[in-house]
Structure 1
Amino acid sequence: MSKRGYHHGNLRQALVEAALDLIAEKGPTGFTMAEAAKSASVSAAAPYRHFAGREDLIAEVAAQGYDVFADVLEFAYNGGQPSPLAAFEAVGRAYLAFARKYPGHYMAMFESGISPRQTPALAQASTRANAVLSTAADALSQRIPADRRPPAAMFSAHISAMSHGIVELYTRGKPGTRSPFTPEELLEAGIGIYLRGLGLISGD
């Protein structure tokens, strides 16, 4: 665990950084507010100036994570260029890249049990990230006749579930989770099967 500590006058962010380390090391339910305070080099009472409790702290970690996640997805989507299919696949790869690079944020967002509506900041950030996924799904599904087209929210939820499953099983390098294929290969194959089932790409 890195000992960033509280040295620059921003206690709130120092606690977020401490929580990120603790979440990555112990999981989102494996640490206490006292441990976060100790890691930030402040008294056990100090965190309560900014957070009501651990859930409130984790919600802030998740909100900051969703902001980064949305930025990563928007960059990958690139306005749907060079094509809806290429952009959609880029978004899927970006999902895996985010989980790999920001494990503490990812766990706070998806594994803490914190509702995306826990705080206004978290709700706003998660809505922005989900909007990128829905936009990518909607743009790609325009080729399907309207009466057979799945709702964009359902389409993006299917891909998110597939991506999350691959992250959980194969992206973190836990013992026993090795696969003869990379997470990116698994996701690409899974997306391909899904899109073929919808008639969006050929069966070749």
Structure 2
Amino acid sequence: MPKRGYHHGNLRQALVDAALALIEEKGPTGFTLSEAAKQAGVTPAAVYRHFAGREDLIAEAARQGYEIFADLMEYAFDKGQPSALASFEATGRAYLAFARKYPGHYISMFESGISVNHSPELAMVSSRAMGVLEKAASKLTENMPEDKRPPSRMVSAHIWAMSHGVVELFGRGSPGQKSPFPPEELLESGIGIYLRGLGLIKADS
């Protein structure tokens, strides 16, 4: 009786899911394609029908992560309206929430060394995520005098950097790093100090 070929309902996604689990366990460079294939229940040769190599596999995990991330950011922005300040703060908190809930995706996106320009699809979805934060920054600063108004891209980049720093140092259990304050409080107070410096909220708020 001839041997039947392997059939998988969605092998491509099964490989991404396997990679995400391995990334959480071993990091983005700590696993091989053979390990991903084994975890997905296929031969290593089957991987190459969908991905050129490990970098392509991680890039797809990152792309899917950015899709989730952008959706969360948009939801946070919409939920905070009609207050521009609430929307802006909500998008910052969404960053921390995403990193906690989707660690494999987060690592693929920000710690794997994969460029957002790895593919047009990855570049487009990463721009969508950043665009939400820029929109929030633009809404928040629109009533500032034009000669004192910082570029919305600069404001969003500052908050992105602050959010990323809180996540990396205190939000994901980095070895040896322990804050006396919850990450949410660190991020909220940091955003508050930043916005007071711009004159966007009162000093006693």
Bin the TM-score by the shorter chain.
over 0.9
Q: Which runs of 4+ in 1 moved over 4 A?
A: none
Q: CA deviation at 1:41?
A: 1.2
Q: CA deviation at 1:82?
A: 2.9
Q: Report the Cα distance in structure 2 between the residues aligned to 1:143 and 1:136, rounded to whole angstroms.
A: 13
Indicate if the aligned counterparts of 1:80 and 1:136 stay in contact, CA closer than 8 A. no
Q: Report the Cα distance in structure 2 between the residues aligned to 1:10 and 1:18, rounded to whole angstroms.
A: 12
1:167 counterpart = 2:170:
no
The count of residues paired between Structure 1 and Structure 2 equals 199
Indicate if the aligned counterparts of 2:14 and 2:40 stay in contact, CA closer than 8 A. yes
Q: CA deviation at 1:176?
A: 2.2
Larger radius of gyration between Structure 1 and Structure 2: 2
Q: Report the Cα distance in structure 2 between the residues aligned to 1:124 and 1:79, rounded to whole angstroms.
A: 24
Indicate if the aligned counterparts of 2:29 and 2:112 stay in contact, CA closer than 8 A. yes
Look up the equivalent residue of 1:187 and give its one-letter code. L
Between 1:71-80 and 1:93-102, the stretch displaced more is 71-80
The RMSD of aligned alpha carbons is 1.4
Q: CA deviation at 1:173?
A: 2.1
1:94 counterpart = 2:89:
no
Q: Report the Cα distance in structure 1 between the residues aligned to 2:147 and 2:7, rounded to whole angstroms.
A: 59
Unaligned runs of 5+ in 2: 1-5
2:47 is aligned to 47
Q: CA deviation at 1:133?
A: 0.7
Unaligned runs of 5+ in 1: 1-5
The 3-state SS of whatever aligns with 1:179 is coil
Q: CA deviation at 1:175?
A: 3.7
Q: CA deviation at 1:125?
A: 1.0
Q: CA deviation at 1:147?
A: 1.7
Look up the equivalent residue of 1:42 and give its one-letter code. V
1:3 is aligned to none
Indicate if the aligned counterparts of 2:80 and 2:90 stay in contact, CA closer than 8 A. no
Look up the equivalent residue of 2:177 and give its one-letter code. T
Look up the equivalent residue of 1:179 and give its one-letter code. S
Look up the equivalent residue of 2:180 and give its one-letter code. P
Look up the equivalent residue of 2:62 and give its one-letter code. A
Identity of aligned residues (%): 70
Q: Report the Cα distance in structure 2 between the residues aligned to 1:15 and 1:61, rounded to whole angstroms.
A: 10
Indicate if the aligned counterparts of 2:22 and 2:36 stay in contact, CA closer than 8 A. yes
